[in-house]
Structure formats: structure tokens, C-alpha cells
Amino acid sequence: MVDQKTPARVGAGAPTLGRRLTRRKPVEKLVAETESGHGLRRTMGFWQLSMIGIGATLGTGIFVVLGEAVPVAGPAVILAFVLAGVTALFSALAYAEMAGMIPASGSAYSYSYATMGEFMAWVCGWCLMLTYGVSVAAVGVGWGQYIDELLRSTAGLSLPDAFLAGPLEGGVVNLPAAVVVLLSMFALLAGVRESTRANAAMVAVKVAVLVMFVAIAVTAVQDGNFAPFMPMGMAGVSAAGATLFFSYIGFDSASTASEEARNPQRDLPRAIMFSMIVVTALYCLVAFSAVGALHWTEFAEGRTSLAGILTVVTGTPVWAVVFAAGAVLALASVVLVVLYSQTRILFAMSRDGLVPRAFSRVDAKGTPRANIVITSVLIAVPAALVPLGPLADATAIGTLFAFALVNVAVLVLRRTRPDLPRAFRMPGAPVTPVLGVLACAYLMFSMALSVWVAFGAWLLLGLVVYFGYGMRRSALETDAPVETGA
């Protein structure tokens, strides 16, 4: 763990503000920290890393948000998933190259620190806090919906409306959303080995229930349900794709596990690409089956869940009950993995001095206990109070921004450090990283003005925190010489 001493005051001969903002953390130092033996434990192989990627990705985007995206894009929601998937593919390739070179737990934050300097690394890390924190909260909201549906289907019971929605939706508090976050907290406190085993089991369940859905729903597919295919035009496809993009956060989650992988240079690139292929295929199959079995206008009338579609198709609630039970476990795995990823981002930022040192303290088992508890409690609050729609949109824009920076990082290191060994090389570079940046920008500018306003407010808060705390306490503040940008 890096010793975070109180930085000296900036005086004569101190680096200028510009040099402090652009000081870079050398790749060699990042790698050395992961091998110091004073932090997280290396226990994961290819399979566990792949399950983290699939576990974080295969969740709310298909189980819950699909019902909100269909009224926006119509049957062309299939294209929205493809658009989001192609955009994510560019970034996944960039992540695979960077993860093979820099096996550090900070993922995009660490990559930015090594290539664009401390300020851009902070901005990236701050965006990832939004991405992961809000994603956990959003999935928690969807988990509550399936819990209620399962209770109604099996026992004829329903949770009181006051405890299924926050005050902005006419309720008091979304109790299930807060509960699933706290349950995941206890799972993470048990240790990474135990939590990865639990995640692998839940991933197997979620893949099984989605395959079951496709097998049943495809029998009811009708050609007429795909007409008109693009009722809202390309604008609708773009808007839906931007919202659904947060569904592809998983490969970033896999990269946050770099410091706990036994052979990250070999296994991380493979795990990232494998999880990307599996998830994209399942997303497109489920979307095709859903809009083919139920006319898109009926999604807007409230029959939006996949479990509800199974009831319509089969005429019996039995399969819907099975699906809802699987969805409860499936969404719980997303909360578990994404919460894990959030804690590892904060671990890396804390080690660099940009957030309080408590986030990088680990116990004898290599578990950052204080980090897990503080992060879980802070995330449980928005999960209990904020509606799903705004949460998903805020997550998507933060994800897109961070992914764009990873593509830029590939370009920078290809130019400045062509000598670095690369376990995986992004094919088609420099064209493909540029396309990755442009694709992310396209989806970002497809979002509503209100989302941009919220994102801008978050970034403004981040600037206040960085200049008021992080910059002065950076572990690089007293290091010399400081590697800076051009």
C-alpha cells in the first residue's frame, strides 16, 4: 500500500498547476504496486473473471430496462442493443489491450492516470463512481420489482406501494432496493473467494432463465409484431441505445479485478472478450423474442416485464414464476459484482491519495472492509429513494465518458510507449480507438438535456472535491521526478 504522507505546501520551486494536473503515474509504478504483496490477494482465474464480466453485464438492461426502451424504439430496440453492443465492442477491445498491460484494480481510472495525467484520471474515476454507484442503485430498484412480482405470483401477496418506490414516485422508500445492496455488502465482507463463488452460481441461474425465456417466447413470434419496425425513426433507436448502454458495464468490472487475478495479462483480455460475446448474443436473442411475441405498443401499456410476456405466451403463470425467481437471483448477482467493482475503484484512488486512506485499508484476508461498508451504505440511500429511469440514464453517460477515455488511452500509449509488452493488441488501431471515441460521443449526444445537466452537476461537484482535497493529498504530490504530459 502506498504511504500517503501529508503533502508539503506548494512553495518556491513547486510544480505549476498545469504540471500538477498532468503528472502521470508511470506504468511501471502501477504494475509494481499490484505486485507489492501489501494489498489485495490474487485468487481469480479466467473463469472467475469471465463470471464477473457476465455477472455485472447481464442484468437490469435486459430484465427491467428493456420494457422502458421498447416504447422509445419500437421493435427496433433490437438495433438499439446492436448499436450499444458495437459501441461497447470498440471499448472492450481497448480495455483488453490496456488490461493486459496495466493489471491494476482501478481499470479506466488507472489507465487514464498512466496516459493523460492526474486530472483526467480523477475525472474518469469520478465518472466511474457515478457509473458504479448509480448502477447498483438502478439494479436494486429492478430487483424490488421482481421480488414483488414473485410474491404476487406465488403467494398472492404484494409489498405495500409505500415500500416499493421512493418519494419521487409517490412512495416512501424502496425497501427491497436497499436490502439487496446491504445483502451484497455482507457477501463481499465474507471475502472475494466466497463472493466470486456465489456470483458464479447466480450467473448460471440467470443464463438458464434467459435461455428458457427465448425458448418459450420464440414459439409465439409473429411477423406482424415487427411492423412498423422503426416507428420513432433512428432518433428512437439512438435514444434507446444510449439508455441501454449502461447494460454493457461488465467488462470494466472484470478489469477492476486485475489485482486479484492470478495471471491478469493472459486471462483478463480473454475474459473481457468472452463475456462481451456471451452477453451481446443473449441480449439480441431476448430482445428479438420479446418484441416478436408481444406487440411493442403493449409494452407502453404496462405489460413490460419478461415474466409478464411468458404469462401472455403460455396462458399460465407457472413459467413467469420460474422466471421471476431466476431474475431475483440474477439481479442480485449484478448488485454484488458492481458493488465489488465500485469498492476496487475507490481502493485504487485511495492508494493514490485522491480519496481518504480508509478506502485502501485491507484486513488479513485482503478485504477492504471499511471501503465495502461505507460504499454500500452510501449507495443504498439513492437505491431506496430515486426512480429507475433517471438512474439508468445517469449511469449510461458516465459509462460512455469513461469508455471514451480508455480508447484515448490506447492511442496515447501506442504513441508514447510502443515498447511496452502487450498481451493483446486492439486490432485496426489507430482507426478502431478513434471509432470507439466517436461511437461513445454519438450515444452521449443522443441523451436528453436533463441528463447532461445532471452529469455536469456531478462533474462540477467532482472538481470541488479534487481541488479541495485530492490534488493536495495526491501520493504524487511530493514524488520527484514527476512524469508530466507534453
**pLDDT by residue (tens digit) across 249-270?**
677 777 878 778 888 878 888 8
Confidence of residue 479 (pLDDT cuts 50, 70, 90): low
What mean pLDDT is predicted for residues 310-339?
84
What mean pLDDT is predicted for residues 39-65?
79
Separation in Å, CA 345 to CA 52, 121, 239, 464? 15, 11, 29, 19
Calpha distance 149→481 (Å, rounded): 59
What mean pLDDT is predicted for residues 479-483?
45
pLDDT at 36 over 50: yes
Backbone φ, ψ for residue 483 (5° rounding): -80, 120
Residue with cell 471509432: 435
Q: What is the pLDDT of residue 214?
A: 94
Q: Is the pTM of this model over 0.85?
A: no
Q: What is the pLDDT of residue 8?
A: 42
Looking at every residue in the chain, the average pLDDT score rounds to 82
Let me know: does 205 contact 330? Beta carbons within 8 Å: yes
Cross-strand pairs, 483? 24
Stronger pLDDT, 460 or 190, i.e. the higher one: 460
Q: What is the pLDDT of residue 292?
A: 93
Q: What is the pLDDT of residue 26?
A: 85
pLDDT at 135 over 80: no
Q: What is the pLDDT of residue 481?
A: 42
What mean pLDDT is predicted for residues 471-485?
64
Dihedral in degrees, nearest 10, Cα atoms 275, 114, 341, 322? -20
Predicted confidence (pLDDT) per residue in 325-347, tens digit? 888 888 888 888 888 888 989 99
What mean pLDDT is predicted for residues 150-157?
77
Q: What is the pLDDT of residue 478?
A: 55
Stronger pLDDT, 165 or 65, i.e. the higher one: 165
Please state whether 87 falls in left (phi above 0), alpha (psi between -120 and 50) or beta: alpha
CATH of domain 33-473: 1.20.1740.10
Stronger pLDDT, 1 or 334, i.e. the higher one: 334
What mean pLDDT is predicted for residues 140-160?
77
Helix, strand or coil for residue 24? strand
Cross-strand pairs, 44? 261
Q: What is the pLDDT of residue 128?
A: 86
Predicted confidence (pLDDT) per residue in 228-255, tens digit? 899 989 988 988 887 777 677 677 777 8
What mean pLDDT is predicted for residues 101-113?
84
Backbone φ, ψ for residue 261 (5° rounding): -95, 140
What mean pLDDT is predicted for residues 50-65?
77
Confidence of residue 483 (pLDDT cuts 50, 70, 90): very low
